[in-house]
Structure 1
Amino acid sequence: MSFDTGLLQAFIAVHQANGFTRAAEQLHLTQSAVSHQIRRLEERVGRPLFHRTTRRLSLTADGEDFLRHAERILQAQDALTRHFRCSPIEGTVRFGVPESFMSEGLPQLLRQFSRSCPNVRLEVSVGLTLDLATMVRERELDLAVVVSVSGTVEGALLRRLPMVWAAAEGFERSDDASLPLAYSPTPCVCRQVSIDALNKAGIPWHGAFSSHSLQDLRTVALSGLAVATFTRDNLRPGMAVLDERDGLPALPMLDFTLAYSEGDAGERSPAVVELGRLIEQAEWARQDKPARRSRRTLRAA
Structure 2
Amino acid sequence: MRAAALRIGRTQSAVSLQIKRLEALVGAELFHRTGSGVALTVAGERFFPGAERVLAAHDETLASIRQDGLRGSIVFGCPEDYLTAFFPDLLRRYGAVHPGVEIEVISAPTIELRPLLQRRRIDLALVSQPGSAGPIEVIRHEPLVWIASTDAPTLLEEPTLPIALSAPGSIDHIEARCALDASSRPYRVSHASNGLAGLLAIARSGLAISVATRAAVPGELSIVTRGLPPLPEIGISLAYASVGLCCAKTVNPGLPLSPDALIPQAL
Q: TM-score range by the shorter chain?
A: 0.5 to 0.7
> Match of 2:224?
242
**Aligned counterpart in structure 2 of residue 105 of structure 1, from 65, 89, 93:** 89
**Aligned counterpart in structure 1 of residue 262 of structure 2, from 278, 282, 300:** 278
> Match of 2:99?
115
Q: Say which SS state the counterpart of residue 106 (structure 1) adopts.
A: helix
Q: Structure 2 counterpart of 1:274, which letter?
A: S
1:163 and 2:147 matched: no
**CA-to-partner distance for each residue in 1:130-166, whole Å, 9 max, x for gaps?**
5324443554433211112213378653321211111
**Aligned counterpart in structure 2 of residue 172 of structure 1, from 154, 157, 160:** 154
Aligned residues: 197
**CA-to-partner distance for each residue in 1:256-275, whole Å, 9 max, x for gaps?**
11123434xx5555848433
Contact 1:183 1:211 in 2 (8 A): yes
> Match of 2:77?
96
The whole-number CA distance in structure 2 between the counterparts of 1:187 and 1:142 is 23
Q: Say which SS state the counterpart of residue 191 (structure 1) adopts.
A: helix
Q: Say which SS state the counterpart of residue 230 (structure 1) adopts.
A: strand
The whole-number CA distance in structure 2 between the counterparts of 1:210 and 1:267 is 36
> Match of 1:150?
131
Label 1:125 to 1:174 Cα distance change in 2 as closer, same or farther (>3 A): closer
Gaps in structure 1 of 5+ consecutive residues: 1-77, 286-301
Q: Say which SS state the counterpart of residue 201 (structure 2) adopts.
A: helix
Q: Structure 1 counterpart of 2:265, which letter?
A: Q
1:225 and 2:225 matched: no
Contact 1:154 1:259 in 2 (8 A): no
Q: Structure 1 counterpart of 2:209, which letter?
A: V
The whole-number CA distance in structure 1 between the counterparts of 2:104 and 2:74 is 6
Q: Say which SS state the counterpart of residue 154 (structure 2) adopts.
A: coil
Q: How much has 1:86 moved relative to structure 2?
A: 1.7
RMSD (CA atoms): 3.4
Contact 2:246 2:260 in 1 (8 A): no
**Bigger radius of gyration:** 1
1:253 and 2:233 matched: yes
* Residues 21-32 of structure 1 mapped to structure 2, 5 A cutoff: none
* Residues 196-207 of structure 1 mapped to structure 2, 5 A cutoff: 196-207=178-189
Q: Structure 1 counterpart of 2:88, which letter?
A: E
Q: Say which SS state the counterpart of residue 93 (structure 1) adopts.
A: strand
Q: Structure 2 counterpart of 1:231, which letter?
A: T
Q: How much has 1:250 moved relative to structure 2?
A: 2.1
Q: Say which SS state the counterpart of residue 133 (structure 2) adopts.
A: coil
Q: Relative contact order, CA 8 A, sep 6+: which one is greater?
A: 2
Label 1:198 to 1:105 Cα distance change in 2 as closer, same or farther (>3 A): same
Q: Say which SS state the counterpart of residue 139 (structure 2) adopts.
A: strand
Q: Say which SS state the counterpart of residue 255 (structure 1) adopts.
A: strand
**Aligned counterpart in structure 2 of residue 262 of structure 1, from 237, 242, 266:** 242
The whole-number CA distance in structure 1 between the counterparts of 2:240 and 2:147 is 32
Contact 1:161 1:255 in 2 (8 A): yes
1:214 and 2:196 matched: yes
The TM-score normalised by the length of structure 1 is 0.54
* Residues 1-20 of structure 1 mapped to structure 2, 5 A cutoff: none
The TM-score normalised by the length of structure 2 is 0.60
